[in-house]
Structure 1
Amino acid sequence: MTLYDLVEPGLVCRSNDPAEPRYRIAEIREADPLGADALLAAVPAMNHAADVPALTVALRALVPEPARLARWGVVECLAAMRDLGLLLGSLKRHGTEPVAAVPEVGPVLRELGRRTDMVPRDTVHHYTTWNPLGARRRSYTATDMERHLQDAVRMVFPSLVAALDSCAEVARLEPYDPGFAPALDRTAQHVQSVVDSIDFTVANVTPEFFARVLRPYFEEIDVDGRDYLGPAAAQVPLWLVDLTLWQSDRSDPAYDAFLDESLPYSLPAWRAFHAAHRGSVSAVGKVSAALSWESAHRLPPQLTASALSLARVLRLLKTFRARHIGIARKAYHDDLRLYDNGSGGAPVALLRTVLDLTRDNETLVRRALPHADVSAPRTPAA
C-alpha cells in the first residue's frame, strides 16, 4: 500500500466533477475491457527476451472490434488505452513502430483518444494512476524499481489535484485579502508531496535503471504521421502550480514552448485550468506590485504574511527542481544516457532554465522580507 491509496477518496476528485469518469480511479483500475490480464502478465517476459513477434501477436490479439468498442463508456476506454499502451511502448522499445506492425490498432487508438478527449496513446495517467495495483499491475519489466517509480508518480496526484484548488483560490484573491496567505500555505502543504516523491525516487530507483532499462519504453510512437510521447513525469501537472504562482507573466519562451507541447497529454479539466489562467497576473506579479507601493519598514501585516507564504511555496518548488535536475543529470550523463532528451521531450538544459526561473521569483519575493524566516512553513488554515 502506498501513500496514494491512503488519501481520502474525495481528495482525488476535489478539483473536478466527482461524477466525471476520469476521476473514478478505482473503477478504471478494476476494468479489464480487453480481457488482457493474463496476456499482459506475460509482457515482462516477452520484453526480457526482446520477443517482437510475440509482442506483435499480443497487440493484434487485444485490438477490439468496432462494435465492441462502441459499447464502452469512458472508464472502459481509458482502461483499454492503458492496456494497449503497454504493448505500444514495448514494441517501440525493441525498435518496431507498433501501428506499422499492427495497422488495425491505429483506428482504435484514434477512437479511444476521441472518446476520452485525450491523445491517441497512453499517458502517465494510464501508466500510474489508472494502473491496477497488486497482481494485476501493468508493467514493462515487473521489477521492484519500476514499481517504485510508478508509485512515486502515483502518490503525487491527489496532492496536486488539491493544489490546483488552492492555486485557483490564490488566482481569485489579492495579497491584502485574508485568504491569500492561507491558500498559499495549503498549496505548500500539497507541493510537499512532490518533494517527498522525488526523495522516494532517489532512495528506490537508480539513475542507471531509469536510463538504461526503463527510459526506452517511453519512446514516442507514430500515429497517422504524428509522433506521440509515451508516459512521462513531465505530464504530471506541476506546471499548473507554476502557472498561477509565477509562470503566467514571468516565464521564458523555451518553457512556454515546452508547456504548449505537454498540454495535450494532460486531462481535459487541467487543459481548461491552463486556458483559464494563462496570461493572467501571477501571485508573484501581484505580490511584487503590492510591495512596490509599500515601505519596506512598514509593510501591512497581511501583505507580509502573503509574501512570506509565497516565498515558502516557491522555496519548496525550488527544492524539488534542484533534486530533479540532480537525478536528470545522472540519468542523462554522457556515459549513461541513451537519449538526448527526457521522456517528456525536454533536454536537461530546460530543467536548469525552470530551476533558475523558480529561484529568481523566490529571490524577488524574499528580498522584500530581509529579516523573515522563509524556511519554517506556517500551519495551513483549514
Structure 2
Amino acid sequence: MTRTLGIDLGSSIRSAAIRGLDPLAADTLCFDMRRQNAEADVPALVAALRSLVPSLDDVAGYSPEACVAAMRDLGMFLGSIKKHGPEPVPLVPEITPVLLELGRRTDMVPRDTVHHYTTWNPAGGRQRMYGGDIQEAYLQESVRMVFPHLREGLELAGVLSDTPVEDPKFAVLTEDLTGHVETMVASIDMVMANVSPVFFARALRSYFEEITVDGQVLLGPAAAQVPLWLIDQAVWASDRSEPGYEEFLRDSVPYSLPRWRELYAYWTGVPSVVSRLVDAYGEDPDATERRVPALRASSEALARLLRVIVVFRGRHLGIARKAYDADLRLYPVGSGGASVDLLRQITDLTRATARLIARRAGGMGAEAGHEHGHGHAGAESAGRRTA
C-alpha cells in the first residue's frame, strides 16, 4: 500500500479527534446494533450497514480522521453480521470499493482492526459495542489504556536500537521503556479482574472472525494486533526467534499502523538489542565488564525489561489457556491467528532470553512469573511448567 497520510494516526491528539467524529451519522444505529446482535437479527444488521455505506464522492471529501471513523463504524456491522453466520460483503456488495478506498486513504488494511475497536472508539454514551456488556467495555478499556504507552515505548525502542550498549544512556532509555511496558501488566490485570474467560470465549470472540474483502481474507480485531510483538522484535526477536513466531509476526504486521510497519522492517534487518549486549560481553564477560563498567547497568536494565515482558506473557498465556480450553472454546485459535501452543512458545522464548541476560547482569532473577505473580495462578503455573 502506498502511504497517503502525512499524519500519525497513533498520536493521542489524532485519536481523540477520531473518537469525536461520526461521519456516517452512525451513533443511533451503532447503539441499536447491540439489540440486533442479541436477537441475531441479520436482516436488520444488513439493512443498517447498507444505509451507512457512503458514496466514493463522500469519502473523497473526508479527512483522514473521518476515514478512520467511517471504517470503525462499518467494521462493527461487518463483524456483527459475520458472527451470526453469513459472509457480510456479498450481502452489501456496494461496500467493497468503499472499504478499499478507506484502506487506501488511511494506509491500512481495508477493514477494521483492534485500533478501530478500542483506541479510536468513543467512550461513554457513544461507545461502539457489539453487546453492551460491562465486560466488553473493560476489555476495550484495557487495550485503550496501553496504546499511548506502546506508542512512546516503540519510539524509545527505536532510539535504543541505535544506542551503543556501552553508552550510559542505554540503561536510562531501557528503564524508560520498561515503565511504558509495565502498563501492559496493569492492562492484563484489569482483564483478569473484570472479564471472565467464559464471557470472552462464548459471547465476544465470535465477533472478531475473519471476513473476505475483494478476494482478500482479513483477520478481525485481535489482541495480537497490540504490538508488544514489535518491542520483542527490537529487543530480541529479530535474530533470536523461531519460525512459528516469525510467521506470526509477518502475518500481524499488515494490521499495524504505518509507522510501526516501518519500524518492523528496520528492526528485522539489524541485530537485536539482546544480541548486541551479548556480543559486547564477548568470551570473557568479567574482564569486559571491568573494562567497560557501563555494561553492568545496561544488562541490569535490560534484565528488568525482559522480566516485565515475561510477567505479561505468563498472565496472557494463563488467560488464553482458560478461554481456549477444549471444553469451553468455540474456536481453536485467537482472532489474530495465534494458538495457545504458539503463545506458550513465545513465552518460553522470552523467558529463555530473560535468563540469558540475567546471567550477564550477575544472576538477577529471571523467573518473572514468581517475582511478580501478585497471586495470579496463571502466570505462576506457567513459570513452573516452563522453567
| TM, length-normalised to structure 2 | 0.90
In 2, the alpha carbon distance for the partners of 1:321 and 1:182 equals 24
Map 1:203-242; keep pairs closer than 5 Å: 203-242=193-232
Q: Hey, what does 1:11 align to over in structure 2?
A: none
Q: Hey, what does 1:182 align to over in structure 2?
A: 172
**Residues 306 and 147 of structure 1, relative CA distance in 2, 3 Å threshold:** same
TM-fit CA distance, 1:27: 1.1
RMSD (CA atoms): 1.7
Q: Does 1:342 align with 2:334?
A: yes
Q: Hey, what does 2:255 align to over in structure 1?
A: 265
Q: Hey, what does 1:74 align to over in structure 2?
A: 64
Match of 2:267 among 277, 302, 308: 277
TM-fit CA distance, 1:46: 0.2
Q: Does 1:28 align with 2:45?
A: no
In 2, the alpha carbon distance for the partners of 1:246 and 1:295 equals 19
User: Is this contact kept in 2: 1:99–1:105, CA < 8 A?
Assistant: yes
1:285-317 Cα shifts (integer Å, max 9, x gaps): 011111224443772421011011111101111
Q: Does 1:162 align with 2:136?
A: no
Q: Hey, what does 1:323 align to over in structure 2?
A: 315
**Residues 21 and 171 of structure 1, relative CA distance in 2, 3 Å threshold:** closer
TM-fit CA distance, 1:157: 0.3
Match of 2:347 among 336, 340, 355: 355
Q: Hey, what does 2:277 align to over in structure 1?
A: 287
Map 1:359-370; keep pairs closer than 5 Å: 359-370=351-362
Give the counterpart letter for 2:286 in structure 1.
A
Q: Hey, what does 2:382 align to over in structure 1?
A: none
**Residues 137 and 297 of structure 1, relative CA distance in 2, 3 Å threshold:** same
User: Is this contact kept in 2: 1:296–1:368, CA < 8 A?
Assistant: no
| TM, length-normalised to structure 1 | 0.91
User: Is this contact kept in 2: 1:22–1:74, CA < 8 A?
Assistant: no
**Residues 101 and 324 of structure 1, relative CA distance in 2, 3 Å threshold:** same
Give the counterpart letter for 1:233 in structure 2.
A
**Residues 18 and 319 of structure 1, relative CA distance in 2, 3 Å threshold:** farther
Match of 2:81 among 68, 91, 102: 91
Q: Hey, what does 2:53 align to over in structure 1?
A: 63
Q: Hey, what does 1:305 align to over in structure 2?
A: 297
**Residues 21 and 363 of structure 1, relative CA distance in 2, 3 Å threshold:** closer
1:311-363 Cα shifts (integer Å, max 9, x gaps): 11011111100000000000000110000110101111110111011011111
In 2, the alpha carbon distance for the partners of 1:244 and 1:213 equals 35
Give the counterpart letter for 2:108 in structure 1.
M
Match of 1:39 among 25, 29, 45: 29
Match of 1:132 among 107, 122, 132: 122
Give the counterpart letter for 2:359 in structure 1.
R
Q: Hey, what does 2:131 align to over in structure 1?
A: 141
**Residues 101 and 360 of structure 1, relative CA distance in 2, 3 Å threshold:** same
* Aligned residues with identical type, % of pairs: 52
Q: Hey, what does 1:117 align to over in structure 2?
A: 107
**Residues 337 and 113 of structure 1, relative CA distance in 2, 3 Å threshold:** same
Aligned to 2:110, the other structure's residue is in SS state: coil
In 2, the alpha carbon distance for the partners of 1:308 and 1:100 equals 55
Aligned to 2:315, the other structure's residue is in SS state: helix
**Residues 174 and 57 of structure 1, relative CA distance in 2, 3 Å threshold:** same
In 1, the alpha carbon distance for the partners of 2:364 and 2:334 equals 37
Give the counterpart letter for 1:244 in structure 2.
A
Give the counterpart letter for 1:334 in structure 2.
A
Give the counterpart letter for 1:356 in structure 2.
D
Q: Hey, what does 1:107 align to over in structure 2?
A: 97
Q: Hey, what does 1:253 align to over in structure 2?
A: 243
In 2, the alpha carbon distance for the partners of 1:236 and 1:206 equals 20
Q: Hey, what does 1:5 align to over in structure 2?
A: none
Give the counterpart letter for 2:345 in structure 1.
T
In 2, the alpha carbon distance for the partners of 1:371 and 1:269 equals 37
TM-fit CA distance, 1:114: 0.9
The answer for unaligned runs of 5 or more in structure 2 is: 373-387
In 2, the alpha carbon distance for the partners of 1:298 and 1:19 equals 45
TM-fit CA distance, 1:272: 0.7
In 2, the alpha carbon distance for the partners of 1:21 and 1:347 equals 29
**Residues 220 and 332 of structure 1, relative CA distance in 2, 3 Å threshold:** same
Give the counterpart letter for 1:66 in structure 2.
L
**Residues 210 and 297 of structure 1, relative CA distance in 2, 3 Å threshold:** same
TM-fit CA distance, 1:269: 0.7
TM-fit CA distance, 1:18: 9.5
User: Is this contact kept in 1: 2:208–2:335, CA < 8 A?
Assistant: yes
Say how many residue pairs are matched: 361
Q: Does 1:173 align with 2:168?
A: no
Give the counterpart letter for 2:178 in structure 1.
A
The answer for unaligned runs of 5 or more in structure 1 is: 1-16, 378-382
TM-fit CA distance, 1:69: 1.3
In 2, the alpha carbon distance for the partners of 1:158 and 1:135 equals 23
Give the counterpart letter for 1:249 in structure 2.
D
Give the counterpart letter for 1:182 in structure 2.
V
TM-fit CA distance, 1:22: 5.3
**Residues 298 and 78 of structure 1, relative CA distance in 2, 3 Å threshold:** closer
Give the counterpart letter for 1:302 in structure 2.
A
